[in-house]
Amino acid sequence: MDIFYNLLQGFQVSLQPYNLFYCFIGVFMGTLIGVLPGLGPTATISILIPFTMGMTPVAAIIMLAGIFYGAMYGGSTTSILVNVPGEAASVITCLDGYQMALQGRAGPALGIAAFGSFIAGSVGVMGLVLLSSPMAKFALKFGPPEYFGVMFLGLTLVCLLSRGSLIKAFLMVFLGLALAYVGMDSVSGEARLTLGSFMLWDGIGLMPIIMGLFGVAEVFLSIETTFSREVLKVKGLKALLPTRQDWGDSAGPIFRGTILGFLLGVLPGGGTVLSTFSSYALEKRLSKHPERFGQGTIEGVAGPETANNAASSGSFITLFTLGIPPNVIMGALLGAMMIHGIQPGPLFLKEHPQVFWGVIASMYLGNVMLLLLNLPFIGLWVRLLRVPYRILFPLILLFTLIGAYTVRNKPLDLILLLIFGLLGYLMKKFDYEPAPLVLAFLLGDQVEMALRQSLIIFDGNFEPFLSHPIAAAMIACGLVVLLSPLLPGLRRGKKIADEAAKLED
Amino acid sequence: MKSKEFISGTFWFLVALIIIWQALDLKLGNYRSPGPGFIPLGVGLGMALLSLVVMGRATIFASGPGLTVKVSWNAFKKLALVIGVMLLYALFFQFLGFPLTTFLLLMFLFKGGEPRVWLKPILLAGAATVFTYFLFSVLLSCELPRGILGI
């Protein structure tokens, strides 16, 4: 009963006109960036953090969360109508969605994507409501060794699930940790890794890193590429409604996509992109007609589009209850929460119930808004694709520059933004993934604190890492991931992640 | 010519050496009481080891497709222009102030290296500068540098 009472209170918070307005702005912006290729939800959340400075923390988090799940809705539109994924989690939708559009069935493809997303989003939020409290209570038992174990597992899973070489991914984890240690040490007060520069005593800001690696680097890469944007037409709202046959074919994929997506969202290192590929692979394996996949079958749209929305709800659990971002988008949200003085973790639910339940309730409302935004106004969103990229990219760059500066008011952050933009561009060219770097940077201080505290508490003894069951289990799983290149099952999982990344390129 | 793997491995190895050198300047402490340099040193050593593995693999598998990075001359020119303009923006942001540097940045980016097109980029840059100034400085009360114009 407590849960329903709390949820009711959450609705009271999220239904306040002020919060409702920012929820709408969030899902609107999410749909917008989901539709427009070249700017993902991570960069958008980072760019919009300065906008939230004057807002209440609850409105700020409601808006930024709306961007995340809104992007999952909007991304399908361009995949289906233009064969260009608006963001990474909609890459797989191109395969069958665009084929359906070519066969004159763009309407049902868009319709099932929107309805499937709505169902998954709503069920995912219910899962979030039911699991958050027990998870938070469980996490209260965690000490430094347990936290170290969870973060170790999270970082190794991010490496396993990012594309390409595992060694390169771990290299990026080390780089991210090193960047996190630049600046004053919080224990001794000594300046570390500053190369003798006073300007680096405050450390490196999160915004230049995220916006550089994800925003600026994407623009640099997009300048090289010319998108082909032949937009297919959809005839009216009626054409968007799937037939009874479509619903029959999609019911299974929607059900399975919801569960699979949610579970992969909770998993540290998982996320929306992986959930779409896993769902597609699962549906193809279960289908009586696997040969139809890639030729325009509705199951190939329903499963992945459902899975990415369920995953977006699931990933909030790990962030809100453990304080650990399971993927880089949640990392950006963690950054925003910290800027607003909110530390997610086991105590988050107790210390900020209004924010916690308010954000969760806003997700229900946001899902309804998204359904209303996406179906009747599909024509409007498609028209946006006709805005030339040469007009868009200077504006994107300007927003990243302003965003990088306004968080700390330091001109150095503009230079750092450019450096990380260039680094992100080169990393892409040299096949390095930025996600492990960013997550390691975000967790760097916590990893160090957990390790140092454990060693001090247990008198330099490493034994508690193995004798505490939760810590030992997490570290053991992490070690299995480290040795995964030798294990055939995990190698297959890595192959799926690599295929996902290849298609994303 | 060495493969891109070898080049990137060497680069990260040099970065790792810098981290190790910086960490060794700090108190390392011991297992019972780790000092500020303890974990950075471990990070630097881990990074050095992994970059050596990347270099080693590149030496063993020295041939095959996709081993070099290709960027067309046109793309390189465009990219160089954008990076150059952004660098100048960062360097003169404080001195010239937000409105003026933003106007210049947008004008050059909208113009995109085309020699005789001026009016459209100037109008677009002007409109976008006024909009962002109003949004950030007036509506959101962000502290943006006023520079020599004093606005």
What's the pLDDT score for residue B141?
A: 74
In a domain, B18, yes or no: yes
Are residue B145 and residue B79 in the same domain, yes or no?
yes
**Closest by alpha carbon to A309, among A110, A102, A170, A120?**
A120
In a domain, A153, yes or no: yes
Contacts of A452 in chain B (CB under 8 A): 34, 38-39
Residue B87, beta-bridge partner list: none
In a domain, A3, yes or no: no
In a domain, A346, yes or no: yes
Report chain B's mean pLDDT, rounded to a whole number: 87
In a domain, B130, yes or no: yes
What's the pLDDT score for residue A486?
A: 65
In a domain, A298, yes or no: yes
How confident is the model over A76-105, as a mean pLDDT?
79
How confident is the model over A298-309, as a mean pLDDT?
90
Put simply, whether A55 touches B (Cβ < 8 Å) is no
Using DSSP's 3-state secondary structure scheme, residue A191 falls into: strand
Tell me the shortest Cα–Cα distance from A453 to chain B, in angstroms: 9
CB contact under 8 A, B128 and A397: no
- State how many domains chain A has: 1
Are residue B50 and residue B82 in the same domain, yes or no?
no
What's the pLDDT score for residue A488?
A: 59
What's the pLDDT score for residue B49?
A: 95
What's the pLDDT score for residue A270?
A: 63
Put simply, whether B4 touches A (Cβ < 8 Å) is yes
Are residue B54 and residue B80 in the same domain, yes or no?
no
Of B60, B87, B102, the domain-final residue? B60
Are residue B55 and residue B98 in the same domain, yes or no?
no
Q: Is the pLDDT of residue A367 over 60?
A: yes
**Mean pLDDT lowest for which of A79-83, A91-95, A186-190, B41-45?**
A79-83
How confident is the model over A487-504, as a mean pLDDT?
58
Q: How confident is the model at residue A127 (pLDDT cuts 50, 70, 90)?
A: confident
Half-sphere exposure of A129 (CA within 13 A, CB side): 25
In a domain, B65, yes or no: no
What's the pLDDT score for residue A68?
A: 83
Element of type H or E holding A159? helix A144-161
Contacts of B30 in chain A (CB under 8 A): 460
Q: Is the pLDDT of residue A268 over 60?
A: yes
Q: Is the pLDDT of residue B116 over 80?
A: no
How confident is the model over A357-367, as a mean pLDDT?
87
pLDDT in tens, A374-397: 777 777 777 776 777 788 889 888
CB contact under 8 A, B30 and A460: yes
Are residue B47 and residue B78 in the same domain, yes or no?
no
In a domain, B51, yes or no: yes
Q: How confident is the model at residue A235 (pLDDT cuts 50, 70, 90)?
A: low
CB contact under 8 A, A460 and B7: no
Are residue B85 and residue B50 in the same domain, yes or no?
no
The parent domain of residue A313 ranges over 15-504
**Mean pLDDT lowest for which of A229-238, A270-279, A411-420, A429-438?**
A229-238
Please report, as a single letter, which amino acid is at residue A311: A
The parent domain of residue B9 ranges over 4-60
Using DSSP's 3-state secondary structure scheme, residue A321 falls into: helix
DSSP B34: B
More confident position, B39 or B112: B39
CB contact under 8 A, B22 and A193: yes
Contacts of B87 in chain A (CB under 8 A): 415, 418
In a domain, B112, yes or no: yes
Q: How confident is the model at residue A132 (pLDDT cuts 50, 70, 90)?
A: confident
Tell me the shortest Cα–Cα distance from A492 to chain B, in angstroms: 22
**Closest by alpha carbon to A450, among B148, B34, B74?**
B34
| Rg of the Cα atoms in chain B | 24
Are residue B144 and residue B81 in the same domain, yes or no?
yes
> Would you state the structure tokens that stand for residue A129, as one six-digit string?
């409501």
Global pTM value: 0.81
Which residue of chain A has the CA closest to B38?
A452
Q: How confident is the model at residue B104 (pLDDT cuts 50, 70, 90)?
A: very high
In a domain, A143, yes or no: yes
Please report, as a single letter, which amino acid is at residue A384: L
Q: How confident is the model at residue B139 (pLDDT cuts 50, 70, 90)?
A: confident
d(CA B35, CA A281): 48
Which residue of chain A has the CA closest to B127?
A395
What's the pLDDT score for residue A21?
A: 93
Are residue B20 and residue B77 in the same domain, yes or no?
no
CB contact under 8 A, A397 and B82: yes
pLDDT in tens, A133-164: 888 888 888 888 888 888 888 888 778 767 67
Put simply, whether B68 touches A (Cβ < 8 Å) is no
Put simply, whether B100 touches A (Cβ < 8 Å) is no
Q: Is the pLDDT of residue A101 over 70?
A: yes
How confident is the model over A203-216, as a mean pLDDT?
86
**Mean pLDDT lowest for which of A174-188, A331-345, A352-366, B57-71?**
B57-71
**Mean pLDDT lowest for which of A237-251, A357-371, A391-405, B72-86?**
A237-251
More confident position, A84 or A16: A16
Put simply, whether B89 touches A (Cβ < 8 Å) is yes
Sign of the C-alpha dihedral computed for residues A145, A146, A147 and A152 taken in this order: positive
Which residue of chain A has the CA closest to B84?
A418
In a domain, A344, yes or no: yes
Residue B29, beta-bridge partner list: B34
In a domain, B67, yes or no: no
Instruction: Identify whether the C-beta of residue A57 lies closer than 8 Å to the C-beta of residue A413.
Output: no
Are residue B47 and residue B77 in the same domain, yes or no?
no
Report chain A's mean pLDDT, rounded to a whole number: 83
What's the pLDDT score for residue B64?
A: 57
Contacts of B31 in chain A (CB under 8 A): 455, 460-462
What's the pLDDT score for residue A94?
A: 83
d(CA A173, CA A163): 14
Put simply, whether B45 touches A (Cβ < 8 Å) is no
d(CA A14, CA A420): 36
Residue B26 CA to its chain's centroid (Å) = 28
Contacts of B4 in chain A (CB under 8 A): 429-431
Which residue of chain B has the CA closest to A400?
B86
DSSP B29: B
In a domain, A64, yes or no: yes
- State how many domains chain B has: 2
CB contact under 8 A, A411 and B94: yes
pLDDT in tens, A175-195: 999 999 999 988 888 899 999
Share of chain A above pLDDT 70, in %: 89
Instruction: Identify whether the C-beta of residue A86 lies closer than 8 Å to the C-beta of residue A216.
Output: no
Are residue B92 and residue B113 in the same domain, yes or no?
yes
What's the pLDDT score for residue A490?
A: 56
Q: Is the pLDDT of residue A16 over 60?
A: yes
What's the pLDDT score for residue B1?
A: 45
Mutation test of the interface with chain A: which of B82, B138, B139, choosing the one with the most A Cβ atoms within 10 A? Answer: B82
Put simply, whether A188 touches B (Cβ < 8 Å) is yes
Are residue B39 and residue B81 in the same domain, yes or no?
no
In a domain, B68, yes or no: no
Q: How confident is the model at residue B23 (pLDDT cuts 50, 70, 90)?
A: very high
State ipTM.
0.92
In a domain, B56, yes or no: yes
Half-sphere exposure of A418 (CA within 13 A, CB side): 17
d(CA B108, CA B89): 11
In a domain, A2, yes or no: no
Put simply, whether B117 touches A (Cβ < 8 Å) is no
